[in-house]
Structure 1
Amino acid sequence: MTGQKIIPHLWFDSAAEAAATLYTSLLPGSGIGTVSRYGKAGIEVHGQREGTAMNVQMHLGGQPMLALNGGPRFRPTPAVSYFLNINDRAALDRAWQELGAGGQVHMPLDAYPWAPRYGWLDDRWGVSWQLALGDPAQTGGQVMTPMLLFTGAQAGQAEAALAQYTSIFPKSGVEGILRHDGSGADPEGTVMHAQFQLAGQTFMTGDSALPHAYTFTEANSFVVFCEDQAEIDHYWHALSFVPEAERCGWLKDRFGLSWQIIPRHLPQLLSSPDPKAMETFLGMGRIDIAALERAAK
């Protein structure tokens, strides 16, 4: 992976490799990196067969992303979507067709006040995408930008999340906020759309008080790569809010969004031929780097 601090992570039942193949075919500057597989070192988890892809590293338009085959426990929802800012209409239309095959459309591909061509859909695996014809310079040069939608019990909390996240990560700040005017379901002043930076990376967010039947799930999480134990402890204590959700470096914050707080060299530690390394990892909540290093040796 690159030196990027925060990486989107997708949870699939068994389609991580197929999904990565599709996603990386849509944008130039994309590709699949390392694929780790189940069944090595005698470890079997999530009911996956030996040789099935476990973790798939990929980059879309130059931006890293991770996919896991973790079984049927979690499903993605549109509470987290991935905004693709594509400056070529033919490429946009092709991506829309490929992602939409077998999926569900939320907003059809058409002209809207905010974009000459825009659409929102879930792909066949339930991963949510927003596609717009535009210049990636508008999103900090990123072709792909994560979008967080605060709905249900979390509706109206987008600005509180902005304040917390930008206070925790370095190189962070709010770039702009467009607010609801009170004419619809959302109270006046709540966030219609905001763009912000975390660790120098662009994100989007907004509130929706409409009766959506979804919220955040572990199928969309964000990996935070840490350089040492002090960094792990900092992000863990700043974000963790649901103790029962803590496992293997995973946590949930007070808004229900899932994060993975892990050392950057975790893949090397877990590649140890000694199964004790993986067994130690699977028994952890907050990651203890020293304990993992001892097990890996």
Structure 2
Amino acid sequence: MKSIYPCIWTNQSAKEAAEFYVSIFPEASIQESNPWVTSWRAGNSKFMLLNGGPEFTPSPTLSFYSEFPEVGSVEKLWEKLVEDGKALMPLGTYPWSEKYGWVQDRYGVSWQLTAHPEAPPYGNYSPAMMFTGRNFGKAEEALNFYTSIVPDSLTKFISRYGEDSPSQTGKINHAQFTLGKQLFVAMDSGLDHGFQFSEGISLVIPCENQDEIDYYWEKLTLRGEEGQCGWLKDQFGVSWQIVPDSLGKLIASPIKGPTVIQAFLKMKKINIEKLTSN
């Protein structure tokens, strides 16, 4: 399995958003662009933006925990991201970081910017899941569920709320875990934020064969729900796309592309043989 990466749903502004991000993040570049999606990369991290329409918007429950080695880098990025956006936690000094801030940008995407002296110049970007509302207290359950499914995964560390936070004591305030090669962050929040996970940001698992598709589909739909075109929601409401790694090339083919798209749109779980036999 190749690295899991996020897909951000936009209202027909995928390329515009990608151009904005590569203009502000260090060592970032657009990888590919077509009428459906635009992909960009910063350092070792891939992001995909989808021209989906107005149906869904990103939620702060899935943000990007982004580490940079210098305070100045965090401050410059904050200025760019908060423009036409909004601060969710003010940029400042916190017990866990000399410089940290949580911002929702103009496209509704949330970034947790933090200074970390050991981060590479291009930054570290980790999808961060916040378990709140009906999901409050489920961060550890989710972490264990995901790491049990994806091979070569592990829990790096777990930090918990102390007795100074009575309503949240013992729950996770910050945990880091890997799913394959990708680092993730998880946290609980007992505050009433009024939002939950949504299709606005999904996590893509690019699969090499049908066996991988079948495996992840079966595991992640357990107490979840199936969607169209390889999309699903797991038991916590997190959206995933279980797709063949070759899907982009198949759709882009000038010969088979249109028939591949028609077959793809009719499927829930993707069947590679049916997708490529047309």
Scaled by the length of structure 1, the TM-score of the pair is 0.88
Change (3 A) 1:65 1:4: farther
Which portions of structure 1, spanning 4 or more consecutive aligned residues, are displaced by more than 6 angstroms? none
Structure 1 unaligned segments of length 5 or more: list them. 38-53
Q: Deviations over 1:156-179 (max 9, x none)?
A: 100000111000001101111111
| Contact 2:224–2:235, Cα closer than 8 Å, also in 1 | no
Superposition RMSD in Å = 1.8
190-199 or 175-184, which deviates more: 175-184
| Contact 1:242–1:251, Cα closer than 8 Å, also in 2 | no
CA distance in 2 between partners of 1:158 and 1:242 (Å): 16
CA distance in 2 between partners of 1:182 and 1:14 (Å): 46
Q: Deviations over 1:259-294 (max 9, x none)?
A: 000110011221233422111000000000000010
| Contact 1:26–1:91, Cα closer than 8 Å, also in 2 | no
What is the one-letter code of the residue matched to 2:275? L
Q: What does residue 14 of structure 1 align with?
A: 12
CA distance in 1 between partners of 2:224 and 2:262 (Å): 21
- Is the aligned partner of 1:126 residue 2:108? yes
Change (3 A) 1:32 1:172: same
Q: What does residue 5 of structure 1 align with?
A: 3
Change (3 A) 1:97 1:232: same
CA distance in 1 between partners of 2:25 and 2:118 (Å): 13
Q: What does residue 79 of structure 1 align with?
A: 61
Structure 2 unaligned segments of length 5 or more: list them. none
- Is the aligned partner of 1:236 residue 2:234? no
Q: What does residue 31 of structure 2 align with?
A: 33
Q: What does residue 74 of structure 2 align with?
A: 92
Q: How does 1:251-290 map to 2 (within 5 A)?
A: 251-272=232-253, 273-274=255-256, 275-290=258-273
Q: How does 1:44-193 map to 2 (within 5 A)?
A: 54-137=36-119, 143-184=124-165, 186-193=167-174
| Contact 1:242–1:252, Cα closer than 8 Å, also in 2 | no
| Contact 1:241–1:251, Cα closer than 8 Å, also in 2 | no
| Contact 2:225–2:234, Cα closer than 8 Å, also in 1 | no
What is the one-letter code of the residue matched to 2:4? I
CA distance in 2 between partners of 1:142 and 1:266 (Å): 28
Change (3 A) 1:69 1:186: farther
3-state secondary structure, aligned to 1:57: strand
What is the count of residue pairs matched by the alignment? 275
3-state secondary structure, aligned to 2:27: coil
Report % sequence identity.
39
1:26 Cα deviation after fit:
2.1
1:133 Cα deviation after fit:
1.1
Change (3 A) 1:101 1:128: same
CA distance in 2 between partners of 1:199 and 1:30 (Å): 23
1:111 Cα deviation after fit:
0.7
3-state secondary structure, aligned to 2:24: coil
Scaled by the length of structure 2, the TM-score of the pair is 0.94
Q: Deviations over 1:201-227 (max 9, x none)?
A: 211000001111101000111000111
1:70 Cα deviation after fit:
0.2
